Amino acid sequence: MATIRGDAGERTLQVAVDTGATLCVFPPSALEAAGIGTVGARRISMTTASGDLPVAVVTIPAVRVGRAVALGVEAALHELPASGFVDGLLGLSFLRRFNITIDFVRGWLNLESERRNP
């Protein structure tokens, strides 16, 4: 679970950790509900399994996973397929700020000591 914070409050999303994603990916509806504006957002081409897609990129004021918080996190706006069972992807724009331990056997992710913000 990741919580995004904007001017209108917070939205909690089911996310998958994606160390291969440069940016976090969140649905536009969640950003809108949190009060994160998308007007004037820069646009990029995002490569997916389905090909290249044009997406908007915004800066999210704060993203929290457990007790780990990062400020000023860039995210691409994109709705993931409902069959994927997650709302978004937690990419390197969040993850690179932490020392990360992934224990696949126990099924946990540990985020320690934010190295820089943003």
Q: What is the mean pLDDT of the chain?
A: 89
Confidence of residue 76 (pLDDT cuts 50, 70, 90): very high
Q: Is residue 43 pLDDT above 80, yes or no?
A: yes
pLDDT at 87: 93
Please, which residues have CB within 8 angstroms of residue 42's CB and are 6 or more apart in sequence?
56, 57
3-7 average pLDDT score = 94
The CATH number of 2-112, from 1.10.10.10, 3.30.470.30, 2.40.70.10, 3.40.50.2300, is 2.40.70.10
pTM of the full structure: 0.87
| Domains of the chain by residue range | 2-112
Segment 31-40, tens digit of pLDDT: 999 999 888 8
Confidence of residue 69 (pLDDT cuts 50, 70, 90): very high
Confidence of residue 116 (pLDDT cuts 50, 70, 90): low
Q: Is residue 50 pLDDT above 80, yes or no?
A: no
SS3 31: helix
- CA-to-CA distance for 118 and 21, rounded, in angstroms? 17
Q: Is residue 83 pLDDT above 60, yes or no?
A: yes
Residue 80 or residue 4, greater confidence: 4
